[in-house]
Amino acid sequence: MLQDKLNKEILLFDGAMGTQLQNAGLKGGEVPEYYNIDHPDLLIDIHSRYLKAGADFITTNTFGANPLKLEQSKYNYQEVILKAVENAKIARDRVNPDAYIAFDIGPVGQLMEPMGTLTFDQVYQSIKDMIDLIKDDVDVVLLETMTDIYEVKASILAIQENSSLPIFVTMTFEANQRTLSGCDPLTMVNILEGLNVDALGINCSLGPKEITPILDQILKYTHLPVMVQPNAGLPVLVDGKTCYHMSSDEFSEACLPHLDHGVAIIGGCCGTTPEFIEKLSIHCHQPVKKRTVQKATRVSSGSQTVEFGHHVVVCGERLNPTGKKKLKAALKEQRYDELVVEGIKQEQAGAHVLDVNVGLPGIDETKTMKHVIKLLQEVLNVPLQIDSSHASAIEQACRYYNGKPLINSVNGKDEIMEEIFPIVKKYGGVVIGLTLDENGIPLKAEERYEIAKKIIKKAATYGIDKKDVIIDCLVLTASAQQKEVMETVKAVSMVKQLGVHTVLGVSNVSFGLPNRPLLNKTFLAMAMSAGLDLPIINPLDKELMSTIDAFNVLYNYDHDATVYIDHQANQETTVKTEQKTMSLFDIVLHGLKDEATKATKQMLENQDGLSIINEILIPALDQVGKDYEQNKIFLPQLIQAAETSKIAFEIIQQGFQTQDQNKKAKIIIATVHGDIHDIGKNIVKVVLESYGYDVIDLGKDVPKETVLEAYKQHHPQAIGLSALMTTTVISMKDTITLLKENHIDCPIFVGGAVLTPDYAKEINADYYVKDAMDTVELMNKLFD
Ligand code: THG
């Protein structure tokens, strides 16, 4: 029923719940979900008013009702959830029995690894626990206001593996058009389409006008139904309360272009009311506007997407023990930092994707693969290519991979395809198909072409589009099978006629002959000219990389030779990839926590601690801060780098006689009373500490009296207050008032999602900080 209407008829969701409850008396610090039990009539009334306004969907009041958030609370999450669904059902049965109930899931409220401590499996379990309760009683699950695509992935798997409910996902974006964890709209689309959700889009973040550039990207990239729930404009703070000033008419007016551009599901977020939904309903229940969406082969990490067809895509081959004694030993002895360093070098050298192979006799490949994938994705931005001949290793790597991976590989054998294609479909990967079968590698191009056709056809029966299949025509060595080298080149050009992209392990060609690099680059040029899209090569081979740069110019990929000129005109300035060990600077820059201790101790043998801090750690962190500002790295890496420098900092501190002299200013931070969202505050803590500040963290939900007490006890040089929720900024004001009444003599700085510089002034704060790096800049200005 729902599936029949999706993407055909414009469907209408309800509007805000939080602001409705506030109007009914919900106070800052109260848990909105308790109202399900304490005031069921109020909830039934709100749902009913949205239904009367014309909403097709009502959303259960369960945004924060997850087991992790309601661990030690007045009511357990089960009661809260069951009652929420019951309230929604009562309203639906009274007002519109045909309406749908959407089970609402918000973020779990803690950061996942590597930003925080929450694991993928913990998220999975908490969502599973919720789904088990309601799977037979609701029509759809809405994952909304999501900020971490990895958390979304864990949640989706928990829903799909424990129910058959449709899944809608909307994420929240920051001013830089990325989510908090660094996911851009295209990457979101690519990962979520792969994971087979039913609708996707954006909610909260901004008003209907400001949301346009992000929404338009989503509409451009996805063929799935697009959902949007904007706020009622941008927030304005009045008397300590967040207000949204847009009228219902202005709102629906501003939403019209979105419906015109093909949005299939619309509703409201913060500040919207039944009146807003009623105004919107006039424009719904008409056919969804058709869009043209171009199909493309795309792989993603959690923060970037590589699209095929715009340039040759370089796959780095070096995370592979074949022919590498050192790497073999490292893998056997579980010294994975060497792999991570190898990964970083390849990324810096310009690889777009990295092949990861950990196959060695005598190691547990499945376990190792899962672990290595996790480590690599914590520090790298490039997508990964999972290379294994074991289905279980591929499955585990795909499951825990934060993104849409390349999967290396299947071949023309039916049993292999039957084993691997379900994994590709379930987790949403792009799969490499080797043109070999039960009879081995055919000598003739025509036969390899036939196997390619078979693979593409069979993939389709699993619902895998040919855009998600890349064909490997297989390189044989010129020394042993000279005649077959050209068959591979010929096969590439034939396979391209099937409308798929192609991959080759280039360096196979040169085994057993002298001057391998010469053969490699000559063959590479021949293969690219025949249509090779994804060469698997050693990206540290500069000549090979330059050959690709040159090809991109000659093939008219690199318009105006921009990249070529950039790389070739100033060759001396290209990155120093050859150096054997990483400097402490690089270790901090790349967040290599495991390397930090050793490197710092080594440095301390020849250099005093203070100069290491001033000449290496601080400059490295400044570089990290710059990279973060410029969107070169994202929150996960920022935190990794901060924690790495903290390790180094602590080792240096141990060497100082009087510790306090070398700590910079003492700073008290707290998330204000009523607010249990401490993600932002925790980030500020880690980053400040990494810069050597002495941070006293009072935690979350901190009463104003506690802040005052802490001030008297610790005599800090600054106090930082954080509030995320619209309902709790008022207690930020109360806290500042109390502190100022007591004539504290240090500055107070404030931050949080709904705060603005203007409002910070209004509530008497001394400084507004936008994020963690901004806080560091302010502290450095004040105390250096
Ligand atoms: N097709 C697909 N996947 C593949 C291959 C392919 N994966 C594995 C391989 N072939 C591509 N990867 C490598 C990895 C290492 C080397 C070659 C190809 C290699 N190693 C050097 C050696 O053996 O002499 C070691 C040299 C060094 O230190 O770099 O050459 O065809 N789909």
Q: Domain residue spans in the chain?
A: 12-281, 310-556, 584-653, 663-783
For 723-758, write each residue's pLDDT tens digit. Answer: 877 777 889 999 999 999 999 999 999 998 778 898
**Beta carbons of 247 and 275 less than 8 angstroms apart:** no
Question: Does ligand 1 have an atom closer than 6 angstroms to the CB of 385?
Answer: no
- Ligand 1 centroid to Cα of residue 357, in Å, is 10
Sequence-distant (6+) residues with CB within 8 A of 338 are 326, 327, 330
- 466 pLDDT more than 90: yes
Question: Does ligand 1 have an atom closer than 6 angstroms to the CB of 324?
Answer: yes
Measured between alpha carbons, how far is 16 from 523 in angstroms, rounded to an integer?
A: 60
CATH C-level class of 584-653 = mainly alpha
Which residue's CA is minimally distant from atom 14 of ligand 1? Answer: 317
For 105-150, write each residue's pLDDT tens digit. Answer: 999 988 898 888 899 999 999 999 999 999 999 999 999 999 999 9
For 563-618, write each residue's pLDDT tens digit. Answer: 999 998 876 544 444 555 789 999 999 999 889 999 999 999 988 887 888 889 88
Q: Tell which one of 299, 313, 317 to mutate to probe ligand 1, the residue whose CB is within 8 A of the most ligand atoms.
A: 317
Q: For ligand 1, what atom is nearest to the CA of residue 320?
A: 14
Q: Tell which one of 536, 577, 580 to mutate to probe ligand 1, the residue whose CB is within 8 A of the most ligand atoms.
A: 536
Supply the pLDDT for residue 270: 92
Question: Does ligand 1 have an atom closer than 6 angstroms to the CB of 408?
Answer: yes
pTM over 0.85: yes
One-character DSSP codes across 762-781: HTT-SEE--SHHHHHHHHHH
Question: Does ligand 1 have an atom closer than 6 angstroms to the CB of 60?
Answer: no
Q: How many CB atoms lie within 10 A of CB 716?
A: 20
For 197-244, write each residue's pLDDT tens digit. Answer: 999 999 998 999 999 999 999 999 999 999 999 999 988 877 767 788
Asked if the domains 12-281 and 310-556 are classified in one and the same CATH topology, the answer is yes
Sequence-distant (6+) residues with CB within 8 A of 319 are 327, 339, 342, 343, 346, 354, 355, 356, 357, 358, 372, 376
Q: For ligand 1, what atom is nearest to the CA of residue 323?
A: 23
User: Among candidates 656, 659, 651, 645, which has minimal Cα distance to 690?
Assistant: 645
CATH topology of domain 663-783: Rossmann fold (3.40.50)
Average pLDDT, the chain: 93
For 519-566, write each residue's pLDDT tens digit. Answer: 999 999 999 999 999 999 999 999 999 999 999 999 999 999 999 999
Query: In sequence order, which ranges of 310-444 are alpha helices (DSSP H)?
Result: 325-332, 337-348, 365-379, 391-400, 414-427
Which residue's CA is minimally distant from atom 4 of ligand 1? Answer: 505
Question: Does ligand 1 have an atom closer than 6 angstroms to the CB of 671?
Answer: no
One-letter amino acid at 256 equals L
Architecture of domain 12-281: Alpha-Beta Barrel (3.20)
**For residue 649, what pLDDT band results from cuts at 50, 70 and 90?**
confident
- 80 pLDDT more than 60: yes
Which residue's CA is minimally distant from atom 26 of ligand 1? Answer: 323
Supply the pLDDT for residue 571: 67
Which residue's CA is minimally distant from atom 31 of ligand 1? Answer: 505
Residues of the chain with pLDDT > 70: what percent?
A: 97
- Identify the residue whose tokens are 């600077």: 585
**For residue 168, what pLDDT band results from cuts at 50, 70 and 90?**
very high
CATH C-level class of 310-556 = alpha beta
For 650-685, write each residue's pLDDT tens digit. Answer: 888 777 654 455 678 999 999 999 877 777 788 788
One-letter amino acid at 761 equals K
